[in-house]
Amino acid sequence: MARVVLSEQTAEKIRQLIDRQYKPGDRIPSEMELAEFLGVSRTTIREAVKILCSGNILEIRRGYGTFVCENPGLPSDPFGSKYMDEDQLKTDIFEISELLEPELVGLAARKASDENIARMRELHGQMEDCLARYRSGEYIPSKEFRKLDVAFHKAVLEGCQNQIISGSVPMFISICAEWYNVWTSLDFESVLENFEFYHPKILAAVEARDPESAYRWSKEHTRKIIEIYLDRSESISTAEHDKKKR
């Protein structure tokens, strides 16, 4: 019993250490280093890490170490989307994106701190750098653009300064992740042009504390991405239908 209590206490100490010093994706100290730092056995550390892994706070990558989960404390599929009808899921994602994101971006324009805005600028700068290198002929995988796009939108929504929104956004993004991949693969150039046109406008509106413009640009951005997906999907379906007829 004492051992169980000790492992739980140690798990809580590691969780507090993560809160203070580490962010999602970071590698935490080794089992031996944590045992020495916390004054417990490696067996206790191992059990504590298992507790944190079961709570989706840590993940073990064999051969690489133990890392903080991208969305600590949240299950990988919180809404059970893997068991939903795919066509209905796409429709639902489009609908909720159009309803929520513009409202939240407008709220961010009212409430974002200087630190929030600095983070948005940093991510936008990284996106611009990737775009410039891509336009000059360098190979940049689509997943890099997708990652930066997700990070930029998360940073904007963090500007809402609302704990419930901050906690909910990763759950929504986890559902959208697969469809981000689909969007960028269907018409990569159009998606990049969309990022290139709308991200600076959204950032400028948030910087100017202009919620009306932030809402408008976010609404257009979301709608254009949906249109890219629907138009390209329809073209692919038509081409496949024509091929079968021949």
Give the separation between CA 161 and CA 108, rounded to whole angstroms: 8
Residue 130, domain CATH: 1.20.120.530
Sorted by sequence, the CB contacts under 8 Å of residue 9 that are 6+ apart come out as none
Give backbone dihedrals phi and psi of 85, rounded to 5 degrees, phi first.
Answer: -65, 125
- Whether 170 and 226 map to the same domain: the answer is yes
Query: Would 195 be classed as within a structural domain?
Result: yes
Query: 38 and 109 share a domain?
Result: no
Together in a domain, 63 and 32: yes
Of 68, 90, 119, the residue that ends a domain is 68
Domain CATH for 48: 1.10.10.10
* Residue 73 belongs to a domain: no
- Name the domain boundary from 40, 68, 96: 68
In a domain, 202, yes or no: yes
Q: What is the DSSP string of 50-91?
A: HHHHHTTSEEEETTTEEEE-SSTTS-SSTT-GGGS-HHHHHH
Separation of alpha carbons 32 and 15, rounded Å: 17
7 Cβ contact list (under 8 Å, min separation 6): 44, 47, 48, 51
Contact by Cβ (8 Å): 64, 53: no
H, E, C per residue of 168-201? HHHHHHHHHHHHHHHHHHHCHHHHHHHHHHHHHH
Same-domain pairing of 225 and 124: yes
Residue 76 lies in a domain: no
> End of a domain among 11, 40, 68?
68
Based on the structure, what is the number of domains in the chain?
Answer: 2
Residue 31: which domain range? 2-68
Q: What is the pLDDT along the chain (246 residues), one digit of tens a residue?
A: 455 689 999 999 999 999 889 888 899 999 999 999 999 999 999 999 999 998 888 999 988 899 998 777 666 666 666 667 777 777 788 888 888 899 999 999 999 999 999 999 999 999 999 999 999 999 988 878 888 888 898 899 899 999 888 777 766 766 665 555 555 566 788 888 998 999 999 999 999 999 999 999 999 998 998 888 877 766 655 655 555 665
Do 95 and 64 have their domain in common? no
Q: How far does CA 212 lie from the centroid of its chain? A: 25
